[in-house]
Amino acid sequence: MNNLTIAELMQTFPCSGELVWIGVRPARGSVMQTVNEVMVNQHSGLAGDRYNGTSGKRQVTLIQWEHLSVLESFTGRPVTPEVLRRNLVIKGINLLALKNQRFRIGEACFQTTGFCHPCSRMEDILGAGGYNAMRGHGGLTAQVLRDGLIRVGDKLTVLSDEDFYG
C-alpha cells in the first residue's frame, strides 16, 4: 500500500512530457506560424508572438497533443495545432496535472497560471459544436519564470522547489 500524501502524489509524474509543436501568432487575427524553436523571455513571452512585449499570466498557452484526436472524434473533422491557436503542444504528460506547478521546457522555466478555456471562435474554426468540443480540452496558460530557448523535441519536466531554487 502506498503511504504518500495527496500533496506528494501531486508531485509524482510517471514520465516527462515532450514539446511536439510550437506556434506564434504575430498579430491579432493572423494565422499561427509554425516554428521549430523560439526564444522565451520572462518579460515578453515568446519572441514573435502577438503577446510579446506584454507580461502577465497568459504569456504562453499549452495544449495536450493527445486531445487533438479527442477533438477530431467530437467534431468529425481533422484538428491540427495551428487552428486551435495555442503556442505549445505537449505530449506524454497530463497537462491538467500541471495546475499550480513550475516546469521546464528546454532552457526556459514556466509557472502554470490557469486553464485556457475555449473562445467563441472555436465554433467557426471547428464547426457547429466546436466550442463545446473544446470544453475541458483547451489546455493551460503559463507565465515565463526563466528565459531560454525552447525547441521541438525538448522535454517538459516538473520542477520541485529544490530543482527551481537550488
Locate the domains of the chain by residue range.
17-154
Overall residue count recorded for the chain in this entry: 166
34: β partners: 23
- Does domain 17-154 fall into CATH 2.40.33.20? yes
Report phi then psi at 38, rounded to 5: -155, 145
**Surface-to-core class of residue 19, CB atoms within 10 Å of its CB (0-12 exposed, 13-18 middle, 19+ buried):** buried
pLDDT at 120: 87
Which pLDDT tens digits describe the chain residue by residue (166 residues)? 678 888 887 777 777 899 999 999 988 888 899 999 999 999 889 999 987 656 577 899 999 999 999 999 999 999 999 999 899 999 999 999 998 899 999 999 999 999 998 888 888 889 999 999 999 999 999 999 999 999 999 999 999 877 777 6
Q: In what order do the strands lie in the sheet containing 148-151? A: 45-46, 37-41, 148-151
Cβ within 8 Å of residue 164, ≥6 positions away = 102, 109, 145
pTM for the whole thing? 0.90
Contact 152, 22 (CB under 8 A): yes
Cβ within 8 Å of residue 108, ≥6 positions away = 40, 144, 146, 147, 148, 149, 150
**Alpha carbon distance 12, 69 (integer Å):** 26
